[in-house]
Structure 1
Amino acid sequence: MFDTQENRYVTRGVNEQVPKEMQQRCFQLIDEKVKQAEIQLDYLQIFEFNRDDQRGTITIVHRQEEPFFIDYSENRITKDLVNFQIKMLWVIDDHTHQTMLLPEEY
């Protein structure tokens, strides 16, 4: 799963509500996991976002169910992320393409 960086798509909801910077960061986190041989990626990657306006950061929780893993990373809140309010994103790999979507678009 997620063994190519080609055929990546985002839904209309993601395109309208998620800044490109955050879309790219999520795909980058997936690519970093692919390079780690000890983790086999599941077809569904889950990203949760927690804002901390006092620190000026967004914590990204990247996880999957099977086999389970969870990672944390932080992004500075840039001018492009000031209005970012999404709490969760999914990325699904169906062997032909990868789609980033909001859970309510499933």
Structure 2
Amino acid sequence: MFDTRENRYITKGVNELVPKEMQLRCWQLIDEKSEKSEVTMDYLQIFEFNRDDQRKTINITHRQEEPFFIDYHECRITKELTNFQINKIWVIDDQTHQTMLLPDEY
């Protein structure tokens, strides 16, 4: 899973509510994880976001269920991310294409 960077899509909800900067960051985290040989990628990648307005950061939790892993990342709240309020994004690889979507779009 996630062994190619081709045929990647986003849903209408992601396009409207998730800034391009955060979309690209999620794809980057998937690519970095898939390149590491110690991890087998599950078809479902989960990203959870927690804003820390006091520190002006967004904490990103990247995880999968099988085999389980969890990684923590942080990014600065840039001008583009000022109004970013999404709590969770899923990325699904069905072996023909990869789709980034909001959980309520499933």
Distance 1:7 1:39 in 2: 22
Whichever residue aligns with residue 18 of structure 1, its letter is: V
Structure 2, unaligned stretches of length 5 or more? Answer: none
Summarize the alignment of residues 1-106 of structure 1 with structure 2, pairs less than 5 Å apart: 1-106=1-106
Distance 2:56 2:49 in 1: 13
Q: State the secondary structure of the residue aligned to 1:31.
A: helix
1:24-56 CA-partner distances (Å, limit 9, x unpaired):
000000000011100000000000000000000
Pairwise CA RMSD of aligned residues?
0.3
Q: Percent same amino acid at aligned positions? A: 76
In the TM superposition, structure 1's runs of 4+ consecutive aligned residues that sit over 6 Å from their partners are none
Structure 1, unaligned stretches of length 5 or more? Answer: none
Distance 2:34 2:64 in 1: 13
- Quote the offset at 1:75 in angstroms: 0.5
| Number of equivalences | 106
- Quote the offset at 1:84 in angstroms: 0.1
Q: State the secondary structure of the residue aligned to 1:80.
A: helix
Distance 1:34 1:63 in 2: 12
